[in-house]
Amino acid sequence: MRATILHGPGDVRVEERPKPLVEKPTDAVIKVVAACVCGSDLWPYRGIADYGPAAAMGHEYVGVVETVGNEVKLVKPGDFVVGSFFASDNTCEICRSGYQSRCVINEHVGAAQAEYLRVPLADGTLVATPGQPDPDLMPSLLAASDVLGTGWFAAVAAESGPGKTVAVVGDGAVGLLGVLSARQLGAERVIAMSRHPARQAVAREFGATDIVAERGDEGVAKVKELTGGMGAHSVIEAVGTQQSMEQAIHACRPGGHVGFVGIAHEVALNGLDLFFSGVHLHGGPAPVRRFLPDLIKLIWDRAINPGLVFDLTLPLDQAPEAYKAMDERRAIKALLQP
């Protein structure tokens, strides 16, 4: 089968790899219908993170179950499924408390930018849709696998809700879907921080009420100006840099909540600054599995259209161009069709 392999910074190739097989009785193998390139895939692509000499890429996927191990009970061959990027048994104490991305059995689902994918702990990781989806739902269901689930978690962690003003730091797909999520959770006002006109337009489409183009201290000053000098009740951080974390903490009012989901790269917070900020900080790898049933229902009922974040669709063979377009910020998010 064909799979996307990262050989080093800037060097992505689509190559032949052995088709994955069921290895454990709890595994499923799915035929991937759609996958995509994640903002986090750009870290190793840019040489900021090292994934080793030949890394099989991709962790966002939808597909059709092909084979299952003999202990898999909840999904069966032929089911159309959406999965999360961490495998979870969905039965341990951590999973039952809603933190499936930190399941005691810690297995990452990798190699999804390929024709077939082995999914460990299939019963606790995959969720079947009510039937075979219409093709126009495919991008939105794929978004649920990571970017929507992550934006949703950030909005929940930031305690978005009725009467709240939510500021969103980061205008990548996760940040944009954080806007959608905050609105769905009832936020009255959502301030999207973006200086990119096409992304501002998507943010508006998803329900942003205000746009702030300034960054850093100037961006914080703008958020304060829009909130009577107090700062937002809730802030979603969807980048993972020193500047974005500081911007998020400083844009939040004392007693407010910051939900951070950008994978932190060399972020070091100043203790005294954090102490006097008086904010709640909660984040980490999103437990997408917690939200999947609800998100699938919202998509199935066409109540939300998160698939709008995909502004580039390419065949799997053109994965190198998908990475390049996202790296150069020509595309918000690229969908790959095996």
Q: Judged by CB under 5 A, which of 42, 92, 128, 230 binds Zn ion?
A: 92
Least distance (Å) from Zn ion to the CB of residue 86?
A: 10
Rounded CA gap, 47 and 6, in Å? Answer: 11
Rounded CA gap, 279 and 256, in Å? Answer: 5
DSSP characters over 214-263:
--HHHHHHHHHHHTTTS-EEEEEE-S-SHHHHHHHHHHEEEEEEEEE-SP
Contact between 103 and Zn ion (CB under 5 A)?
yes
Contact between 107 and Zn ion (CB under 5 A)?
no
Rounded CA gap, 333 and 323, in Å? Answer: 9
Least distance (Å) from Zn ion to the CB of residue 73?
A: 16
Least distance (Å) from Zn ion to the CB of residue 150?
A: 19
Contact between 89 and Zn ion (CB under 5 A)?
yes
Contact between 249 and Zn ion (CB under 5 A)?
no
CB closer to Zn ion out of 284 and 320: 284
| Site stretch for Zn ion (CB under 5 A), options 89-97, 140-148, 226-234, 295-303 | 89-97
CB closer to Zn ion out of 103 and 141: 103
- Nearest Cα to 74, choosing from 57, 54, 88? 88
CB closer to Zn ion out of 92 and 201: 92
Q: Judged by CB under 5 A, which of 32, 37, 82, 95 binds Zn ion?
A: 95
Contact between 102 and Zn ion (CB under 5 A)?
no
CB closer to Zn ion out of 103 and 127: 103
In sequence order, which ranges of the chain are alpha helices (DSSP H)?
A: 42-45, 93-96, 122-125, 138-144, 147-157, 173-184, 197-205, 216-226, 242-251, 271-277, 288-300, 319-327
Amino acid at 262: G
Q: How many residues bind Zn ion (CB under 5 A)?
A: 5
Least distance (Å) from Zn ion to the CB of residue 93?
A: 8
Contact between 87 and Zn ion (CB under 5 A)?
no
Q: Do the Cβ atoms of 37 and 326 come closer than 8 Å?
A: yes
Enumerate binding residues for Zn ion (CB under 5 A).
88-89, 92, 95, 103
